[in-house]
Amino acid sequence: LPCAQGTHPLSPLSFPLTVTSEQIEHLHRRFKQLSRDQLTIRKENFDSIPDLEFNPIRGKIVHAFFDKRNLRQESDGLADEINFEDFLTIMSYFRPIEMNMDEEQLDRFRKEKLKFLFHMYDSDHDGKITLQEYRNVVEELLSGNPHLEKESARSIADGAMMEAASICVGQMGPDQVYEGITFEDFLKMWQGIDIETKMHVRFLNMETIAHCY
């Protein structure tokens, strides 16, 4: 396997990884392509992916790679650069379900993926999705439409937030202020959507030659 200088990038990782070594090899090549043969990637390196420009939440996706909460680091905030191990960590949020998972593992798996999405919304890292943060996401998603006024986007976001509040807290009194969607509330809203079967990227089968004879 091609190695970066210094420590081998595949030294013991702190989480169970069930991608095959071929898939790691491919991801490593992709990493080297993105990082231009450096050991780490910075935000600017994602600019070299033309397809990504299409995506309205490009900023949030790139941001997610550097979000320390996703990188399972103890501290909070944003990293400046990530190495291959971190890259794999983020990719692991998108690994598919395995057949032999039991209930508890499945539940943990699902929570991990939802936490990733939660962090995308919660940009100030305070553990709650406030109205303003919700508005930001909606505006970004709808930002490509030049005919859409800011007011419309806002009202859509507000409507959606009210909906979310009613699901999470039930009927609110006129004086009650809904502070924001916590992670537990977030989980409630995703009930019934089996995200764990949808939120993954499947590798195609790598072909190997020698064993076919």
Positions in the binding site for another protein (CB under 8 A): 22-23, 25-27, 30, 33-34, 46-58, 60-61, 91, 94, 117, 120-121, 137-138, 141-146, 148, 152, 156-157, 159-160, 163-164, 186, 189-195, 198-199, 201-204, 206-211, 213
Q: CB 55 → another protein: shortest distance, Å?
A: 5
By the 8 A CB rule, do 39 and 6 touch? yes
* CA angle in degrees (0–180, nearest 5) for 131-133-135: 70
User: Given the complex with another protein, which of 105 and 155 has the nearer CB atom?
Assistant: 155
Work out the number of other CB atoms within 10 angstroms of the CB of residue 67: 22
User: Given the complex with another protein, which of 39 and 117 has the nearer CB atom?
Assistant: 117
Q: CB 6 → another protein: shortest distance, Å?
A: 21
- In the chain, the amino acid numbered 58 is R
Q: CB 185 → another protein: shortest distance, Å?
A: 10
Q: What is the DSSP letter of 36?
A: T
Sign of CA pseudo-dihedral 17, 20, 24, 26: negative
User: Given the complex with another protein, which of 51 and 103 has the nearer CB atom?
Assistant: 51
Q: CB 32 → another protein: shortest distance, Å?
A: 11
Give the whole-angstrom CA distance, residue 108 versus residue 105. Answer: 5
User: Given the complex with another protein, which of 4 and 141 has the nearer CB atom?
Assistant: 141
User: Given the complex with another protein, which of 15 and 213 has the nearer CB atom?
Assistant: 213
By the 8 A CB rule, do 124 and 67 touch? no
